[in-house]
């Protein structure tokens, strides 16, 4: 966000395209998300949201088009380079180490060449204290010695978010943070998003829980068949006939 409070562009794509077996999962998508805001990317199942995430974070390479972050080209760059540019992300299915403790999972979030090096480096450079602070912030510090596989799914989501925060990203991309999570933890995740955004972090959230999306978001983009069909405030997109047609066929 600029000094006078005006919106600036964070993540943006032009003509982004990715196909699988002749099916366009992302089909020439040109879209921009607002830096400093809570952005949401919504759409029916199969509309290309996760593939879009994977393309812009380097998990897969797009077939065509470009992606940029705050004016810098990130198209096709490796995930670690995109992370260093300031983007962190979670996944639809939690990516944690199930047989490691909660605290160990936090320490391996520190970027080093090997798992062993990550743990050793973290323990010698003060990241233990930061890990514990972040675990306390998401509300699972009392579980630091618990193996990750013994957490509830909602607690695993909180652990993954805390791990993303270890890298101190300015933009956080969350892929279905409320999926499979009980209402109390959904409220906690929502509160965390609000407080982190108030501190200056940008969010881009893919989510099917419309109550969560509409209560949190400043800016909503709607995908259908791999491309954006509408965008605006929550009120604007909820009343857009193109959105109603995509979701309800009306």
pLDDT digits (tens, 9 = 90+) for 10-55: 999 999 999 998 899 999 999 999 999 999 999 988 899 999 999 9
β-pairing, 8-20 with 87-89? unpaired
Determine the longest span between alpha carbons in the chain, in angstroms.
Answer: 59
Confidence of residue 113 (pLDDT cuts 50, 70, 90): very low
Q: Give mean pLDDT, residues 46-69.
A: 95
Q: How far is Cα 241 from Cα 40, in angstroms, rounded to an integer? A: 18
Residue ranges, comma separated, of all CATH 3.40.50.300 domains in the chain are 1-86+169-250
- From the centroid of its chain, how far is CA 233? 19
Q: Where are the beta strands (DSSP E) in the chain?
A: 8-20, 23-35, 38-42, 64-69, 72-73, 87-89, 171-175, 202-206, 219-224, 227-232
Confidence of residue 123 (pLDDT cuts 50, 70, 90): low
Confidence of residue 249 (pLDDT cuts 50, 70, 90): low
- When comparing pLDDT for 94 and 128, which is higher? 128
Strand order in the sheet with 64-69: 23-35, 8-20, 64-69, 72-73
Q: Give mean pLDDT, residues 112-136.
A: 70
Q: How far is Cα 103 from Cα 144, in angstroms, rounded to an integer? A: 5
**H or E, element range at 215:** helix 210-216
pLDDT digits (tens, 9 = 90+) for 200-241: 999 999 998 999 999 999 999 999 999 999 999 999 998 898
Can you give the pLDDT at residue 143?
97
CA distances from 183 to 51, 117, 156 (A): 27, 38, 15
Q: To which CATH superfamily is domain 1-86+169-250 assigned?
A: P-loop containing nucleotide triphosphate hydrolases (3.40.50.300)
Can you give the pLDDT at residue 121?
56
Q: How far is Cα 30 from Cα 39, in angstroms, rounded to an integer? A: 15
Q: How far is Cα 142 from Cα 156, in angstroms, rounded to an integer? A: 14
pTM, two decimals, is 0.89
């Amino acid at each position: 966000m600029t000094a006078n409070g005006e919106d600036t562009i964070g993540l943006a794509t032009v003509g982004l395209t990715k196909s699988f077996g002749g099916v366009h999962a992302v089909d020439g998508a040109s879209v921009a998300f607002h830096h400093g805001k809570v952005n949401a990317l919504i759409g029916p199942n199969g509309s290309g949201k996760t593939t879009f995430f994977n393309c812009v974070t380097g998990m897969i390479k797009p077939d065509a088009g470009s992606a940029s972050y705050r004016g810098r080209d990130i198209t096709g760059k490796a995930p670690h380079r995109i992370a260093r540019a300031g983007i962190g992300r979670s996944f639809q299915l939690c990516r944690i180490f199930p047989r490691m403790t909660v605290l160990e999972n936090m320490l391996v979030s520190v970027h080093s060449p090997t798992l062993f090096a990550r743990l050793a480096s973290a323990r010698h450079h003060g990241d233990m204290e930061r890990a514990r602070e972040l675990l306390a912030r998401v509300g699972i510090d009392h579980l630091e010695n618990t193996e990750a596989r013994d957490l509830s799914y909602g607690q695993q989501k909180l652990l993954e978010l805390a791990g993303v925060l270890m890298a101190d990203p300015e933009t956080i991309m969350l892929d279905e943070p409320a999926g499979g999570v009980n209402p109390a933890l959904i409220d906690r995740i929502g509160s965390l998003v609000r407080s982190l955004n108030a501190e200056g972090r940008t969010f881009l959230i893919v989510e099917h829980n419309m109550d969560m999306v509409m209560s949190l978001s400043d800016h909503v983009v709607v995908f259908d068949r791999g491309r954006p069909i509408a965008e605006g405030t929550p009120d604007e997109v909820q009343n857009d006939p193109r959105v109603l047609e995509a979701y309800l066929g009306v």
